[in-house]
Amino acid sequence: MAANTHPEPDIQQVLRMESSSSKKRILKRFFYWGLAGIILFGALILWNHRNGNSEPVRYETQDAVLGDLTITVAATGNLEPTNQVDVSSELSGIIETVSVDDNDQVKVNQELARLDTDKLNADVQKYRAALEAARAQVLQAQATLKDSRAEFERLRHAYELSGGKVPSAYTLESAEAEFEKARADVASAEAQVIQAQAVLEYAETDLSKAVIRSPINGLVLSRDVEPGQTVAASLQAPILFTLAEDLARMELHVDVDEADVGQVKPGQEAVFTVDAYPERVFPARIIRVKYGAENTDGVVTYEAALEVDNGSLLLRPGMTATADITVARVEDAVLVPNAALRFSPSAKEADETEDKDAKTSMTSRLVPPPPRPARPSSNQASNKIAGGEQQVWTLQNQTPVPVKVTTGLSDGIMTEVVGGDIRPGTPLIIGVTHVKP
């Protein structure tokens, strides 16, 4: 009877405890659902932010081709005659006559100009007279020698017949000395003749040099003298005429940069243009490359000479020419654009490519992907690979895929591929554009 005295308060207490536990469970559920909603809302905001800042990428491509490749080296220089002669005067004087003008054809030994010869003619006459006087001295010395010889022979004969009594030994010795002196005078006179002859020939040579003649068959490029002009050749012989031997054959002298001179060799073909005929291309051929360097303002160049056929006589000495020397040529080679060798996807483009498939799923839209390893800070990575190889990028399912290649010659626009999985027609990425939504 004592245990059942207060049953109602126990039931009420139990009911109150159950009600309190149910409320706690409901509150906990609301808390978790609210936390999940906040996380979902943040993920949606982050996804919208990421998609809103990215722009679709479109790749520009150019196909590899099969073709010929010509490698050239550019150089500039001037045209010159194969044999150019500067004609000057060895003598000083006044120009009396000039017989030729610019562009005249001349022959060997043809008279070009003449100096006033009055003084030279007088010198020749003077030295000719001196020669005749020297010859007369020889005749006189010979006569004296003959007389001295006769006197000496007479005295010696008498000395022998008298047994040494007549004449005296002193007289005989004096006669012998006079004879030897006369013979020496003859030798001296003969030497004076030779000297006078040499002086005369020198004067006659000067007289002949007063007439300036052409040393070659050719063309007068320039005439730098006029009649009445005084020529002073005491310090340096002045240039009066410039002659070119044969303008049908000329040479082009160009300066080749030190970075290219190793590729330039005799026998290589070349073409060049001049400003006088900008639409016309002239052929040429390398005949020599100098080993001596020329340093101009710190730029080192080497002179190369090209043989030029100028049968039409269109080209003139001194013209400035721009030449393209063919140093190498390949045929039927696989060629890729140099822009493809320079292209490499930036870090952002690579990330967008990697995220492309991931963004299509609902889960990836709600949950951000994990962070990737850090990429190089440079926007464009180098396409060069160890061992001299390079890489190009092609598209597979709109995704850039690298392809290793071994390159050969290049003309600055296209490059030969000598190794690698590249075929004519393979699309290669040369650039990228971002398309705004």
Q: For every one of its 437 residues, what pLDDT tens digit does the chain have, with 9 covering 90 and above? A: 444 444 455 555 544 555 556 666 676 676 667 777 778 777 666 665 555 545 567 888 999 999 999 999 999 999 999 999 999 998 999 999 999 999 999 999 999 999 999 999 999 999 999 999 999 999 999 999 999 999 999 999 998 888 888 888 889 899 999 999 999 999 999 999 999 999 999 999 999 999 999 999 999 999 999 999 999 877 677 899 999 988 999 999 999 999 999 999 999 999 999 999 999 999 999 999 999 999 989 999 999 999 999 999 999 999 999 999 999 999 999 999 999 999 887 655 555 544 544 444 444 444 444 444 444 333 344 465 544 588 999 988 888 899 999 998 888 899 999 888 889 999 999 988 865 55
> For 64-103, where are the E strands, in sequence order?
65-81, 84-88, 93-98
Predicted pLDDT at 361: 45
Phi, psi (rounded to 5 degrees) for 425: 95, -10
308, 329, 350 — which closes off a domain?
Answer: 329
Question: Which CATH number do you get for residue 180?
Answer: 1.10.287
Per-residue pLDDT at 428: 92
pLDDT, residue 366, reads 44
User: Please, which contacts does 274-283 make with residues 24 or more away whose CB atoms are closer than 8 Å?
Assistant: 274/79, 274/315, 274/319, 274/320, 274/321, 275/319, 275/320, 276/314, 276/316, 276/319, 277/314, 280/314, 282/308, 282/315, 282/321, 283/308, 283/309
pLDDT of residue 259: 92
| Burial of residue 397 (number of CB atoms within 10 Å: 0-12, 13-18, 19+) | exposed
Q: Give SS3 for 89.
A: coil
**Same domain (yes/no): 122, 211:** yes
Q: What pLDDT score does 50 carry?
A: 57
- In terms of domains, do 294 and 353 share one? no
Domain assignment of residue 1, yes or no: yes
Go through 187-223 and write b for each residue having 16 or more CB atoms within 10 A of its CB, e for each that does not. eebbebbeebbebbeebeebbeebbbbbebebbbbeb
3-state secondary structure of 356: helix
Could you give the CA distance from residue 6 to residue 9 in angstroms, rounded to a whole number?
6
* Residue 237 located in a structural domain: no
Instruction: From 194, 227, 234, select the one nearest 212 (Cα to Cα).
Output: 227
Buried b (16+ CB within 10 A) or exposed e, 137-166: bbeebbebbeebeebbeebeeebeeeeeee
Name which of 88, 51, 110 is nearest 437 in CA terms. 51
Check if the beta carbon of residue 252 is closer than 8 Å to that of residue 306.
yes
Do 227 and 118 sit in the same domain of this protein?
yes
Instruction: Give the per-residue pLDDT at 232.
Output: 87
Residues 348 and 370 in one domain: yes
Global confidence as pTM: 0.63
**CATH number of the domain bearing residue 282:** 2.40.30.170
Partnered with residue 75 across adjacent β-strands are 323
- For the chain, what is the domain count? 4
Q: H helices then E strands: how many in the chain?
A: 6, 20
On whether both 267 and 374 belong to a single domain, the answer is no
Whole-number Å distance between alpha carbons of 427 and 179: 115
Residue 369 in domain? yes
Measuring CA to CA, which residue among 24, 345, 91, 130 is closest to residue 232?
Answer: 91
Q: Is 267 helix (H, G, I), strand (E, B) or coil?
A: coil
In 3D, which of 204, 243, 218, 230 has the Cα closest to residue 89?
230
Domain that holds residue 315: 74-82+246-329
What is the pLDDT, as a whole number, of residue 51? 55
Say if residue 339 is in the same domain as residue 320: no
Is the same domain home to 102 and 214? yes
Do 44 and 128 sit in the same domain of this protein?
no
Q: Give the end of a domain, one of 329, 354, 382.
A: 329
Indicate whether 93 and 208 sit together in one domain: yes
